[in-house]
Chain A
Amino acid sequence: MVPLNHYLYLSAILFTIGAVGVFTRRNALIIYMCIELMLNAVNLTFIAFSKFLNNMDGHIFAFMIMTVAAAEAAVGLAIILAIFRNRETVNVDDINLMKG
């Protein structure tokens, strides 16, 4: 049986890859994919703890995260579509109407 540490290490690595992707990529679609990757890494942590603490509440949390991810993907992609229709770009550096 693989110890709990290794699952957490894998989850931390995936989360870091996702975070680096969010900060370095300019394409809004790929930034969304990186956010999905980070959510998945957190899910892995929940499931691993759920198994090792012998408590099934973690499965419910993973279920809820999946729900939120699905809602977020639907709304986010609709926003990207609307932006692309108005501005002809999905590059986040060109989308600076609010001067953020």
Chain B
Amino acid sequence: MKNLAFLPFALLFLALGLIVQPAAAQPQQEDFKPEDMTTFIIQVPHGVEENGIAVGGSTLSAYLFFESYYDGNMNVTMEFGLPEGFVLHEPSVHTFSLQTEYDDWYRLVEFYIPPDTPCGTYTITSKAVIEVEGTKHTIVRTTQLKVALKEEVADEVSVSQIIIPSDEDGYGDPSHPSNTLVVQETSPALKKLLKVTDLKTEKEDLISTFMGIELTNTGNSTIPVMVTYDILDTKTGEPVKAFKPDIMGMNADTVCYATVTLSPGSNSLISLPLYISQDALGGDYLLRVKVKLTGSDWIAVTKDQKITAISRRWGPIVTTFTASLLGLTALGFFFSRPGKIMDRFKTRNLVLIALFGTVSFTVINLPMTILWELSHAIFGPFSFLFTGLFNEILLYMLIASLVVLIPKPGVISLFMMVRFLLGGFITGSFTPITFITLSVNAIMLELMLYAGGITGKNPAPDNRFRMGILCGFADMVGGYVSFSVWMVLYRLFYSDWYITANILIDGFLYTFIGTWFGISLGNRLKKVAE
């Protein structure tokens, strides 16, 4: 009973509480403090909080931002005021409504500073009139923009360092030679896969490296800049397209830039991606870094640095390496069991091989010592049409006739060995090219002729067509290896069309003709031997 006595008082307090609550909320509106319950930012140009800098003739974007922390509706009228002479490209007054807490509004307002604007510091004002529940509050923001002479800006900003290649943050990496780019070719297998699957080269596939650019601002103004670069031909000064390839249908310029705001008296390190296409050639280039003041096309600073691009064509490198390994393995195999190999040949066979070696030296090597160089000097790229008569037709006539006379595995290797040693002793041509080319040629011929049944247990060396085709293919491989070795070991260049023409005409056609006639010759010699 005693507890029930409090009930009427409790109900009375509850009722009073409910009545008083809306009345207590009323003073909150009256206490709306615009500075505390909103954020109002003005940046001129965009990204610069205060003391921005610009030059005459620039188009800048001012950034206006307004955010509400008030849990209710507010109407805002934003007025953007520019100094006299500045040209605004859009209305100066913007009206918007923010509905709830954390609702915001922002706008990039473009304006133009005419070229004849006198140098000096200008004040830019933005006024926000906030209407909350019928009450208006005003916030004003001002910022300074310095209009400077171009020379003044150019004196304040400098590119203090270019680091190429660098990591993603622009820092140099000592594990890579400085000022050097490595142009890697995409593996032929990947190229084929991309073609088959109809996939285009993606942006990431083109990225080669990054470059770090250190910028210094020695002035007292905050300077917003845009940094970009070009890789130029050192002779013509023209940009090299292969270093700014199209990326997913877009010009590389759209991704090869960085914007940065340089604080007074600061150094900033930025990084830019460097894309290299497959077509890029090795050589010396000029890297030109350009720093533009934001909003202007005027280039405030340029810095040039010589760079070298090293072209790595893995195809010839791998071919040379494999061919060398193959040649050395074959030599090692021979030196590990010379007795076993040589005992398979009668003395008569060895003498015949030696004499064929002498004939090949007399009719091929000796005249070619002069003719090879002479024809290269006279006919240039088409000399192979002439030298092929000796190097291919004549040589394969000898090889084919020798195989007809001695259809044993190993006969071609011994013949090639005699040629190599004879050439070395008489004309001093103990060169790696001769060794690798001859050894690969011998291995390919031996394998193909054995697999094709030309040599071996039941030899059939009379099939002209089969032997011609097999020798042709073997020589095509040998020809490709030879070019690869020239390119890798002697750092020589050859066009793809030239290599193809050589391989097809010299490597296949001439070899086929030589083999065809060689079998007839061998059959005639067989009769002499009998």
Tell me if chain B binds chain A.
no
